[in-house]
Amino acid sequence: MKILSVNAGSSSLKFTLFEMPEEKEIISGVFERIGEETSLYSIKMNGEKIKKDCVLKNHEEAVKILTEELINYNVIKNLHEIGGVGHRVVHGGDKYADSVIITEDVTNTIRNLFHLAPLHNPSNLMGIEAFQEFIPDAKEVAVFDTGFHQTMPKENYMYAAPYEWYEKYGVRRYAYHGISHQYITEYMQNYLGKKDVNLITCHLGGGCSMYSIKDGKCFDTSMSFSTNSGLIMGTRSGDIDAFIVPYVMKESGMTMEEVLDSLNKKGGLLGVSGISNDSRDIEEGVESGNERCILAQELFTNRIVGYIGKLAIFMDKIDAICFTGGIGENSSMTRKDIINKLSKLGIVLDEEANNTRGKFTLITKAESKIPCYIVPTNEELMIAKDTYNLVK
Ligand code: ADP
């Protein structure tokens, strides 16, 4: 059965078509700059990549082109061959611990959670509606980024804020990137040959988050109420004192939206380095002695190490620390900086193994008290697996 895995952003739409249950990737691609004057899309198939310019007013137009191209490229003869479309949905509140077939009730819930994920849920819903229009016969499935953390115990998801904020307004820690952390957990369960794995998983990409996994289930995370919490990210500040917001509003004359926008888009590696949100540029800066890049890298890795300590102290045993995401899979420098700062825990880097990019690798020496691995993530496959299991 062919399953389409979809990740719709505000101006982009990523897709991958899988043959399931073989987990074979057939074709993938991304539509970018949707809604802008000129848009483009790229498609990858059989190791080849094509790029085309186009004009896309909205997500529906992207989905229309996608369905036409699937037929043009002889991937499918007609749309009935697509048995299911799985959508990444960032926020499912505390209603959904597992993926669900999309019904009107589900779309209403996603809509009702716009205020908790204003940057993501509206785009995710646009993607869902676009596919409902163009592939109406395929069952659609919502795979929630907030699903995997639902096993967190209450003492790990509550804030010490007035209790009625939780009861009336849903103020609690939610955590994101769950699809990636779940994929890494399942990968390690297969690798270690047991379900009850104990892990610390570090997803370091444009967005960054860490989870502790106890007996195969999410126990705690670095993420919190919003997607700008916990670790330092490409452009996001991660944790800061809430009282900085009104203080900067008063001092600068900026509105609350402007201050929050700055924390989301002008903070993180970009804000500290003043150069870039891309860790490759930060690495170059570090190598050439740029002080702000050195500081950015130091803050970035210190925050990660701090969270490893915070998560580790509540675990009885750790089978592995796993690195994933664009930075986690590719940046030897970042992994080295982190692991060297963990030497007090008896973790010993294998420098040669750490010079690997993008493939499953043990990067610590045999004597290391905790083994560390690069584990490439595959959120698209995780979405396709959940979708297949629900529609088959
Ligand atoms: P997103 O969270 O947006 O999906 P990714 O997981 O693709 O992002 O990660 C993007 C980040 O990965 C980039 O900002 C870049 O900093 C980092 N990255 C990608 N390739 C490399 C590399 N070869 N070396 C260091 N960092 C890399």
Residue pLDDT, tens place only, 200-219: 999 999 999 999 999 999 99
The binding-site residues of ligand 1, defined as CB within 6 angstroms of any ligand atom, are: 205-207, 234, 278-280, 325-327, 330-331, 357
Reduced DSSP (H G I as helix, E B as strand, rest coil) percent helix, strand, coil of the chain, to 5: 40, 20, 35
- Can you tell me which atom of ligand 1 is nearest the CA of 283? 25
Which helix (H) or strand (E) element contains residue 264? helix 256-265
- Can you tell me which atom of ligand 1 is nearest the CA of 325? 6
Q: Tell me how far the alpha carbon of residue 331 lies from the centroid of ligand 1, in angstroms.
A: 8
| Ligand 1 pocket, mutate which of 208, 235, 277, 279 (most atoms under 8 A from CB) | 279
- Strands laid side by side in the 2-8 sheet: 48-54, 39-45, 24-32, 13-19, 2-8, 82-89, 139-144, 100-101
Give pLDDT tens digits along the chain (392 positions): 999 999 998 889 999 999 999 999 999 999 999 999 999 999 999 999 999 999 999 999 999 999 999 999 999 999 999 999 999 999 998 889 899 999 999 999 999 999 888 878 999 999 999 999 999 999 999 999 998 999 999 999 999 999 999 999 999 999 889 999 999 999 999 999 999 999 999 999 999 999 999 999 999 999 999 999 999 999 999 999 999 999 999 999 999 999 999 999 999 999 999 999 999 999 999 999 999 999 999 999 999 999 999 999 999 999 999 999 999 999 999 999 999 999 999 999 999 999 999 999 999 999 999 999 999 999 999 999 999 999 99
Copy the structure tokens of residue 9.
């952003």
The predicted structure's pLDDT at residue 175: 87
**For the whole model, what pTM was predicted?**
0.92
- Preceding peptide of 21 cis, ω within 30°: yes
The predicted structure's pLDDT at residue 117: 86
Q: Tell me how far the alpha carbon of residue 214 lies from the centroid of ligand 1, in angstroms.
A: 27
Q: Tell me how far the alpha carbon of residue 232 lies from the centroid of ligand 1, in angstroms.
A: 14
The predicted structure's pLDDT at residue 275: 96
The predicted structure's pLDDT at residue 93: 87
In total, the chain counts a number of residues equal to 392
Is 171 exposed, middle or buried, given 0-12, 13-18 or 19+ CB atoms closer than 10 A? middle
Q: Tell me how far the alpha carbon of residue 5 lies from the centroid of ligand 1, in angstroms.
A: 21
Nearest CA to ligand 1 atom 19: 326
The predicted structure's pLDDT at residue 97: 87
Q: Tell me how far the alpha carbon of residue 224 lies from the centroid of ligand 1, in angstroms.
A: 22
Copy the structure tokens of residue 355.
């010079």
The predicted structure's pLDDT at residue 94: 84
- Can you tell me which atom of ligand 1 is nearest the CA of 269? 16
Catalytically annotated residues = 145
- Can you tell me which atom of ligand 1 is nearest the CA of 234? 14
Residue-wise pLDDT for 339-357, tens only, equals: 999 999 999 999 999 999 9
Q: Tell me how far the alpha carbon of residue 262 lies from the centroid of ligand 1, in angstroms.
A: 21
The answer to whether 4 and 15 have CB atoms below 8 angstroms apart is: yes
Q: Tell me how far the alpha carbon of residue 357 lies from the centroid of ligand 1, in angstroms.
A: 11
- Can you tell me which atom of ligand 1 is nearest the CA of 281? 16
The predicted structure's pLDDT at residue 116: 84
Nearest CA to ligand 1 atom 27: 327
